[in-house]
Structure 1
Amino acid sequence: MKRFLLFLLLGPAVGFAVFELREIASGRIIGGFPGFIMGLPFAYWFGLIPSLVMWLEDWFLEDKMRLWPKVLTSALTGYVVSIGMMLIWTSVSIPLRQILTFGIVGAVQGLVCSWLSGIKPKGGAL
């Protein structure tokens, strides 16, 4: 249940933060602070399916891999899924460089969520 909630609730927020950092780094700030606040619901709307795919992959590999290989596969899955979703949702042609850099959004999202879901409590703590 912890894994599902991490990917579902935290995943799109992390992805949106990385997306905004990517936009700021490229000099494209749309709407300032109000645009940031208004963009957050859209991040959850468009980030839901990629988050569920990353959660499913992470859940499937939970007992088959150690933590860091699983985290890296989740980052790779997030990279591919976010590019796929962007290509599905957009109706305009996008330069290849923008497509490839957009994958970083899903990669960081998958990496963070997979890493947090793999942390086990120390000792006998619940």
Structure 2
Amino acid sequence: MEPLLLTDIEAAVRASWGADTTTPEYRDRWKPDNPARDQCGVTAMVLNDLLGGELIRGEVLVDGVRVDYHWWNRLGMGVEIDLTREQFDAHEIVSGGVVIERPQEIVRLREEYELLRARVLERLGARTRQEAA
């Protein structure tokens, strides 16, 4: 069986996003033509499950004012993975980036995280089962 590549994981994550995995209070602004919109927190947690590393949180600024937070991952040797950075419009600037300790229990966005995680694992499992056949 071939090992999973980062491209396999990325494809599984991107194919698993939907309106039902976004932040509920922003669900109405999710569109299929910008599927990464409001997926950063749950995506960072799923990647942390699969790859380890650190969770990074930056600020989303509009006209210099923080309007939200943005999450991504940092692996060993400072390699950063951000599968949702393209969600932002030109006037939305991601600033900073601090390491945030992973919560022991996921409370906020738990349903969305579990749904995304299950979809990604299913897609990755289907991929490895196809190669084994």
* Higher-helix-fraction structure: 1
TM-score greater than 0.5 by the shorter chain: no
TM-score range, shorter chain: 0.3 to 0.5
TM-score (ref. length: structure 1) = 0.40
